[in-house]
Amino acid sequence: MSTSIVNPPRDPNTLSNYHNFLTTHTEVNFNIDFEKRNISGNVALTLKSITDAAAKEILLDTSFLNVKDVVLDGKTPKWDLLPRFEPYGSALKISLEDGVQNGKSVQLEMSTETTEECTAIQWLTPAQTRSEHPYMFTQCQAIHTRSVFPCQDTPDVKGTVQFNIESPLPVIASGLSIGVKDLEKGANSAIGTKLYTFEQNIPIPSYLFALASGDIAKAPIGPRSVVATGPKELKAAQWELEESTERYIETVEKIVFPYQWTEYNVLVLPPSFPYGGMENPVYTYATPTMISGDRENVDVIAHELSHSYSGNLVSNASWEHFWLNEGWTTYLERRLQAAVHGEPHRDFSSIIGWKSLQDSVKQFGDSHEFTKMVVDLKGKDPDDAFSSIPYEKGYTFLSYLENQVTKNKWNTYIPHYFTTFARRSLDSYDFKANLLSFFASDTIASKALNDVDWDSWFYTPGLPPKPNFDTSLVDVCYDLASKWETGKFEPRQEDIKGWSANQVVVFLDTVQAFAKPLDERASQTMGSTYGFAKSQNVEVVSRYYQAALKAKDETVFKPTAELLGKVGRMKFVRPLYRLLNEADRALAVETFEKNKDFYHPICKNLVEKDLFGKGTKS
């Protein structure tokens, strides 16, 4: 970001005083200890003063972190961990004897160790990874980097990073690999430990700091891409991704501009990974549910690749403006799909997204703060606001703006936007001002944009106006669903012959939305006739289970519980738990208690709230 900081800071979810100092570079020297289940070592921050006022302290974010020592420019300053302030952790306060002149930098070194309460790291046993080795990975979005090391844990600050990581198992990081070195056995090194070094020379926000270590193998999926995953899963993952990855990169480059991060790689994580993907630079983290054996779910990569521009290169200044990350990314993803598969596929994906948006609004309530596009997160945990709303409401808004100025003119704005804000962070008001400025000399487009009710789009809760979608690819899905709703037909396997998995998804989404759920017999007939329960595609089977749970179809209760013990992706886990809880609360609670240590801490926390509320479990 630029050194012109809004005062007070734009991000309410950090305890750092980043309006006084900016982190320009981070170097971590960490040891990954699988036995102790912690990461320990030294982190060095280069902090630049950006204020004329003589700031007498540096404040950094920490959470459940053991800080052992602090050194400032070679000297030991007075420092203290302030009392914990939920949900943001404990500020690390470093006192300065003298102020730091505007533009000058200081070097801050800290010795730290993660604790068992760290919310960013998941430690997996060999049994959980289906191998002979343990595994660990970080998930730092939104505000969890502070539980790995002290930092300015806000997307409004970007800096370069060097990773020096000791581990007995292969390491992946959100930077380019620049070397692997064997280490001798020592006080902090086990036999076979290696030092893995990475550098990220494009400034990134703290939430894109990423590490993973485990029994990881790699295979090429394109001229500038590899896939990394467990050795047993490698061949299937390579097949799934090698056909589309480079084509996707070349396509998005034509929409925006050349890819900036040198390599685009994919790390397919163990099943407990809580998201479809996480756009960590250089290495996208991806759900194993994407590897479905039919190449039907590789659009996850289209989305995460698009994040290389939106989110990674151009970032939201705070999580209150998360729609800028996800709305723009979903927009680029669907433009990419249209370019590769044909224009109807853009609306096909949008229709699926609209259903997801409706579900999220219904879950929160149509007047809830978190159903707005720009939300108020003061004193709140950004994780609690996470849903499809910033993705789909943001996409709908950008598509609306595209229609206001015409697609051809909008196409010229896309690279301008990403060029203007590259390596910076922005909020919704920066975006609005930039867009209006770009079209200021175009009388027609300027008038159209000035007629937009910006405040309604930004601040009105609930659903936005529904677009007119091209339904050519889904009409057959709607037609079959209507037959099931009336019940006046004899289902046959041929009903869905030749359908893509996404068409099945639209059909099942429509069935779930019936005013009157299927009855138990119809649910069982659907499952046996179409073979949904036997599908290897989790997008399909999870939606069938949701429809069947609404039907109180007891034949899916146990299979649902079994699936919940194999998949940790919140997109599937949370809706299935909610519906299983309504159908058989005892089984839902039993299933959670059995599998809670399998889930990532973020997922575990949110499912616990879904099942038991925010208070004590009952």
Report phi then psi at 80, rounded to 5: -160, 145
**Would the annotation count 373 as a binding residue?**
no
DSSP 558-573: HHHHHHHTT---HHHH
Output b/e per residue, 27-59; b: 16+ Cβ within 10 A.
bbbbbbbbeeebbbbbbebbbbbbbeeebebbb
Q: Annotated catalytic, 233?
A: no
Query: Residue 281 is encoded by which pair of tokens?
Result: 């630079």
Q: Annotated catalytic, 391?
A: yes
Output b/e per residue, 275-309; b: 16+ Cβ within 10 A.
bbbbbbbbbbbbbbbbbbeebbbbbbbbbbbbbbb
Contact 142, 207 (CB under 8 A): yes
Question: Taking the CA atoms of the chain, what radius of gyration do you get in angstroms?
Answer: 25
Query: Residue 549 is encoded by which pair of tokens?
Result: 């749970």
Rounded Cα distance between 124 and 144, Å, is 18
* List of residues 6+ apart from 67 with CB closer than 8 A: 79, 81, 92, 110, 111, 112, 150
**Would the annotation count 326 as a binding residue?**
yes
Report phi then psi at 515, rounded to 5: -60, -40
**Would the annotation count 146 as a binding residue?**
no
DSSP 455-470: HHHHH--S--PPP---
Contact 451, 436 (CB under 8 A): no
Rounded Cα distance between 618 and 611, Å, is 9
Catalytic residue among 135, 196, 391, 599: 391
**Would the annotation count 570 as a binding residue?**
yes
Query: Residue 2 is encoded by which pair of tokens?
Result: 């630029």
What single DSSP character describes residue 517?
P
Rounded Cα distance between 267 and 72, Å, is 36
Instruction: For 330-446, list the strands marked E by DSSP.
Output: 424-426
* Neighbour tally for 582: CB within 10 Å: 12
**Would the annotation count 242 as a binding residue?**
no
Catalytic residue among 304, 320, 402, 539: 304
**Would the annotation count 141 as a binding residue?**
yes
Quickly tell me which residue has 């989790």 as its tokens.
538
Residue 2 CB burial class (10 angstroms; 0-12, 13-18, ≥19): exposed
**Would the annotation count 569 as a binding residue?**
yes
**Would the annotation count 478 as a binding residue?**
no
**Would the annotation count 139 as a binding residue?**
yes
Q: Which residues are catalytic?
A: 304, 391
Q: Which residues are documented as binding site?
A: 139-141, 274-279, 303, 307, 326, 569-571
Q: Which residues are documented as binding site for a peptide?
A: 139-141, 274-279, 569-571
